Amino acid sequence: MLNRLQATRYIVHQVTDEPIIASLGNPKFDLFTAQDRPQNFYMWNSMGMASSMGLGLAMTRPQQKVIILDGDGALLMNLNSLTTAAARAPQNLIHVIWDNRQFELTGGQPTHTAFCTDLAKLAQGAGFEKVETVETQEVFERTFSRALREPGPWIIVAIIDTERAAGRPPKSPTYIKHRFMESLGVKPV
């Protein structure tokens, strides 16, 4: 089983200026702890929207990889986004799903992946071809590095432990947005 913080640390060490969209809750907490980069977009609510926002961003920046850090609960709330992203199939998209099989922040209630739901199979059914399920740090590192080098879109379902994330990024939505846009060389209107 992977540890989300350890795997997130590997991601931020591998990337340079690639944007990372982090879903609400633990994915963004651990991204902040691993490294608070201006290219990090922290979602403070809008559960499920990381996958859709990452798709929109990937459509506008085909020259660089766009990384989504999602959670099992969040993706289950916006499962249809998999079908939209698979139909569009941007080669620069890397969608990492941390699957701890629970809503950890709200008390550990099981998500459907705790029973019989397999997110990798759902992604394949949506039409993604490059889909990997990883359960160890070693395999995660190999898979993520490959996803950075090779055209996607990539779906990486990472089976993780249930450790709670301690980090708390800045909360101001406009600060997060402006810092992120500036880091991508995008001027506000």
- Where along the sequence are the contacts to another protein (CB under 8 A)? 19, 21, 41, 43-61, 78, 80-81, 83-84, 87-88, 173-174, 176-177, 180-181, 184-186, 188-189
What whole-number distance in Å separates Cα of residue 32 and Cα of residue 42? Answer: 8
Q: What are phi and psi of 154, to 5 degrees?
A: -110, 140
- E-assigned strand segments in 59-129: 66-71, 93-99, 102-103, 109-110
Q: Which is nearer to another protein, 115 or 188 (CB)?
A: 188
Q: Supply the minimum distance, in Å, between the C-beta of residue 57 and another protein.
A: 4
In angstroms, what is the minimal distance from the CB of 45 to another protein? 4
Q: Among residues 140 and 180, whose Cβ is nearest to another protein?
A: 180
Task: Report helix, strand or coil for 5.
Answer: helix
What's the alpha-carbon Rg for the chain, to the nearest Å?
A: 15
The least distance separating another protein from the CB of residue 49, rounded to whole angstroms, comes to 4
What is the nearest approach in angstroms of another protein to the Cβ of residue 11? 19
The answer to whether 1 and 22 have CB atoms below 8 angstroms apart is: no
